[in-house]
Structures are given as C-alpha cells and as structure tokens.
Structure 1
Amino acid sequence: MHDEDSMMLNCRTVALEADELLRGEVSPLRAARLRLHILICGNCRRHVANLRALSELLDGHGNEADSGRALEELESGVLEALKEGGGSKVVALVGRDAAQSRDESLAFQENTGERLLRESIPDEERVQQVLREVREFVGYIPPHFRVYAQHPGMLEANWAKMRAVVKDGILPHRLREAIAILVSHDNGCDYCVRAHGQVLLDLGVNEEVIERMKQDVMAGDLPLKERALLVVAREANRDPHGASEERIALARKAGASDLEILEALGVMEIYTSINKFIDTLGIPLEA
C-alpha cells in the first residue's frame, strides 16, 4: 500500500513501480503522480516507454517502432490521469516532484569524466608521444589529458596550443599560473583552482597573497606590467565586450607588448576551455 499523500516520488520509485503502472495495478491518484514524474523526467520517460515496448514484444503484440508510440501515449495519458485521480490534489504536488525528479535524474547519471578515466589509453604512437611530452612538462599526466587521449585529434590539438602558449611562451611562469588561477576562480572550477594554487605555492607565492589576488589583482606583489596583464586576462574572461580596449591600453602603458597581451589572452582562453571541459564532465582532480 503506497502512502500517496506523503511519498516523494523519485527515479528509483518509478523504476520499482513501472511494471505495476503498466499493468494497471496502481490507484488512479498513484498513476497520476507516477505519470507526472515520467512527464517531467526524460530518463524515466524513456525507461518506461522502452519497458512497455519490450513487454509487448515479448508478448508477441508489438514491434520495435512501438517504443516511440509508447512514449507518446505516456505523455498524453497525464491529463486523463489527472481527471481520474483528483486533478487539483495532484497539480499541487507537481512543483515539489519536479525539483525532486531533476535531482534524482542527475544522481542516477554516471559521472562521465570518471568513467572515461577508467578507459584504457589508446596505444597509438601519436597519443603516447603527446602524453610523454605532457608528463615531461607537468611531471605527471593531468586527468583531463587522460580524457583527451580518448580523442587523439583533440589531444594533439590541445597539447599543441598549450605547448606553444604555456610551455614555450614568453610570459613568466608565475604570471601564467596566476592567470590560470584567477580565470578558474572566476569560472568556479575548483579542480583548476586547487591545481594551479599548488603550483603557485611551489613557486614561492604564499597562500595569503593568492587569496588576496583572487579578490583584487592589484593587491598582489607582481610587477606592475604583470598585474596589468592579469587585469586584461581576467576582464576578458569575465566580460570580453566590456572595457577591454581600455584595459589593453593600460597594459601597454605599463610596458606590455602586443605579443605579451596576446599571450596573456591565449593563456586565459586555454584555461577557460579547460575549466568548462573539466566541470562539464566532472573530472576529478585526483585520479
């Protein structure tokens, strides 16, 4: 017997009760709530539609095209379920179940970054060559490069750009790391903030200075030209349509060349893309 008034439906509940729903063995109100969750949650909607189509195939009454039809029938059945189960009562629960459904759906999704890290690295020579160079430069193979390795062309392209701008660039190492940590901080990439924060510590920048710099670039102890380049990179990441030309003019006044300005923006661009790549896939720092 289900507690229809208080039970918060989630993906696990729908998965457990899907058979009963399809067999018509739940009450009208329960059916309405299950169908509402299914309507909100794409993962559960596909699961139940496939379950219905599979059941019909096994019973000899369906075909492979029935999955799409089942999906449409599930969606169109919601209004009827609302009528049968007491529409106002069910509608009052929709907002609560919608948030729960989204949370549960995300919780049931496997972390793609972690899964890709478990994949074997291709043994192609071009992949191995890049990874050898990365290890020589960084001291280890960062997790996101191991994920890049699943797409050899992407691995080569990302390393070529990083090698040209970060490894072989003209900006001081400390400045490149400072750009990386500020961009990552502003983009909310904790992985990169911790990784580059450790590099700055290893380069002799104390933690208090790093924290002050996150709040105010000019509060750091870098030379004026480098702080001006930090401002250019940070503002470009935050708002490229803002007062970028003004910031660039100030950097030039502080002694920065066009090449240094381009490289500061290149470092910003690289780490902005890495931030988004890492956070989207959920790649862990320690792997």
Structure 2
Amino acid sequence: MSAALDVPATARVRLVEPAAATDPELAALFRRIEEQFGGVPNLFKALAHRPAILRATLDKVAATMHEGTVDRQLKEMMAVVVADARGCAYCVGAHAMALRRLGVPEETIALLAGDLAQSALPPAWIEVLEVSRAAARDVHGITYARFARLRARGFEDAALVELASVMDLFMSLSFFLDLLKVPLDE
C-alpha cells in the first residue's frame, strides 16, 4: 500500500486502556467494543476521552459497516482504498486485516492500492472502488456521469447513500487517526 508507514509508536493523546475506565458509561462502551471487535482497537482508546463521541462513532461504524445491503467485503475494500488514497496507514492495516478475516486473498488486497482492472473483482465493485479512490482524492471531481455508471451497475439511491457513508466514515476516521498519530494495533 502507498500509505505512509512511519507512524510513531506514541499517539498525540494518551490511549485509554479498558482497565482504567472508571466511568460506568465508558466501561460499558469498552465492553460493547470488546464484544463487537474481540478487543479494543487503539482508535476507540483514543476516542475514549470523550465517551459521547466514542458512542456516536461506534453507532456510525455499526450502521455503516454492519447494516445495509452493500456487501461487507466491498465496504472493507472501500475502507482500504479510501485510507490508501488519504495516506492513513492505520486504516489500511486495520481493514486489510478485516479483509483477511473475511477470506479475501492477499493478491486481491494488494491490488486495492493499484490497478483495480487487473483484479478478478466484479465490474460493479471495481466501479465503486474507483469512485471511492477518486472521491478520497477530490470529492468535487466526482461527476454525474460517474454516478450514472454506478446506477447502471445496479446501485439505487439507498445503496448510493450507503456507499457515500462508507467513504465519509473512512475519510473522517483517517483524518482523526492521522492527526492524533494513533498507532496501529499489534
């Protein structure tokens, strides 16, 4: 991936460990995260300084990534493509791991940073991923013609909103993670 890999080991904010959560609301949020993710990723440890923002982020992640009609693998691929275009090593690494857990081959994951036409992905997915990459680089450059191609590939309004929400989520998270230099989980 082309994302910068020189993320320092220390974040610009202290990462709140679940064992240090004395606030009952924060402790409950950490339990929810552990149940959903099998642990507490550093992203959420950084957000834990503001439990209301952490809760809102968790809700948005759940609604965007775990609900809807767009395939979860495509959403995770979009996360990698957007993060790569934005230079967010954390998101690239975290969502490449998610793709591996979903059974996506390494060769496919590696192609997400390159020429998507070389992949065996469905043409509709390639179109979505190319739009995701372009939007992450210059949202104002996305034309009505590109949306017409997505519609021609079977994406109606609800799916287009879902796709745009995935792009938005990872543009926002990549900004947050990079600004605060949150290190990728080991």
TM-score range, shorter chain: 0.7 to 0.9
| Alpha-carbon distance in structure 2 between the residues aligned to 1:234 and 1:165 | 18
Residues 219/256 of structure 1: CA separation in 2 closer, same or farther (3 Å cut): farther
Corresponding residue for residue 128 of structure 1: 27
Residue 130 (structure 2) aligns with = 231
Q: 2:158 maps to which residue?
A: 259
Q: Distance in 2 between matches of 1:181 and 1:207?
A: 13
Q: 1:159 to 1:224 in 2, by over 3 A?
A: same
Runs of 5+ consecutive residues of structure 2 not aligned to the other structure: 1-7
CA distance in 2, matches of 1:144, 1:196: 13
Q: Are 2:59 and 1:149 aligned?
A: no
Q: Aligned equivalents of 1:116 and 1:131: distance in 2?
A: 13
Structure 1 length-normalised TM: 0.57
- 2:12 is aligned to 112
Report what 1:82 is aligned to. Answer: none
Displacement of 1:111: 4.2
2-structure distance, mates of 1:236, 1:169: 21
**Structure possessing the higher radius of gyration over alpha carbons:** 1
1:245 aligns with 2:144: yes
Query: What is the CA-CA distance between 1:273 and the residue it aligns to?
Result: 1.2
| Partner secondary structure for residue 116 of structure 1 | coil
- Alignment partner of 1:285 is 2:184: yes
Structure 1: distance between partners of 2:20 and 2:149: 46
Deviation, 1:118, is 6.0
After superposition, the Cα gap between the structure-2 partners of 1:135 and 1:218, relative to the gap in structure 1 and judged at 3 Å, is farther
Partner of 1:211: 110
5 Å matches for 1:63-212? 111-113=11-13, 115-117=14-16, 121-212=20-111
Deviation at 1:185, TM superposition (A): 0.8
Q: Percent identity?
A: 32
Counterpart CA distance in 1 for 2:11 and 2:104 is: 34
- Specify which structure has the bigger relative contact order, considering alpha-carbon pairs within 8 angstroms and separated by 6 or more residues: 2
Kindly tell me: are residues 116 and 199 of structure 1, through their superposed partners in 2, closer, same or farther at Cα, counting changes over 3 Å? closer
Contact 1:235 / 1:244 at 8 angstroms: preserved in 2?
no
CA contact (8 A) 1:236 1:244 kept: no
Shift of 1:267: 0.9
**Is the CA contact (8 Å cut-off) linking 1:180 and 1:271 kept in structure 2?**
yes
- Give TM-score scaled by structure 2 length: 0.84
One-letter amino acid of the counterpart of residue 12, structure 2:
T
RMSD: 2.2
How far apart, CA to CA, are the structure 2 residues paired with 1:151 and 1:128? 12
Deviations 1:104-139 (A, max 9, x none): xxx9xx7424x3346964333332333222222222
Pairwise mapping of residues 51-62 of structure 1 onto structure 2 (< 5 A)?
Answer: none
